[in-house]
Amino acid sequence: MVSPNPYQQYRHNAVLTADPGRLTLMLFQGAARFARQAAARVAQRDIPGAHEACLRAQDILLYLLETANTEMEVGRNLASLYDYMYRRLLEANVKKDRAILEEVAGFLEDLAHTWERALKQAVAQQAG
């Protein structure tokens, strides 16, 4: 019998126990990581690998788009941004365009940093 990979088990448990804010941060980070992987694989001329990584980033953006609370202005703005990034990833995947992948990865990393700061501020406010 094969024992589970401890790292995969840790990641699985982290996702299952994360609060919604932390889960959103993990989604931003994951999508950025997959977009960067796709860009690297395009540079290596690994077309199937680039396609797979791009699809994973696209799947995350679709999930974010579908779950955005568009009843609030900030949710509508985020939904528009997710839609833009999703369409850019589609274009990048078709053209295997590294520059577009880097652009989207940068947006996602900026979102992740901003979201992480907001989470820290919320925790600080609750503690204070």
Q: What is the DSSP code (8-state) at residue 3?
A: P
Tokens describing residue 123: 């925790």
User: For residue 128, how far is the Cα from the chain centroid?
Assistant: 31
pLDDT band at 4 (very low <50, low <70, confident <90, very high): confident
Span 59-88, pLDDT tens digits: 999 999 999 999 999 999 999 999 999 999
CATH of the structural domain 20-127, one choice from 1.20.120.340, 3.30.70.260, 3.30.1390.10, 3.90.870.10: 1.20.120.340
Average per-residue pLDDT in the chain?
Answer: 91
Residue with tokens 């295997």: 96
- Residue 109: is its pLDDT beyond 80? yes
Q: Where are the domains of the chain?
A: 20-127
pLDDT of 100 reads 98
Share of the chain above pLDDT 70, in %: 88
For residues 119 and 51, what is the distance between their CA atoms, to the nearest angstrom? 32
In 10 A of CB 7, how many CB atoms? Answer: 8
Which of 26-30, 112-116, 124-128 shows the lowest mean pLDDT across its residues? Answer: 124-128
Instruction: Enter the pTM of the model.
Output: 0.86
Contact 41, 92 (CB under 8 A): no
Q: What is the mean pLDDT of residues 47-70?
A: 97
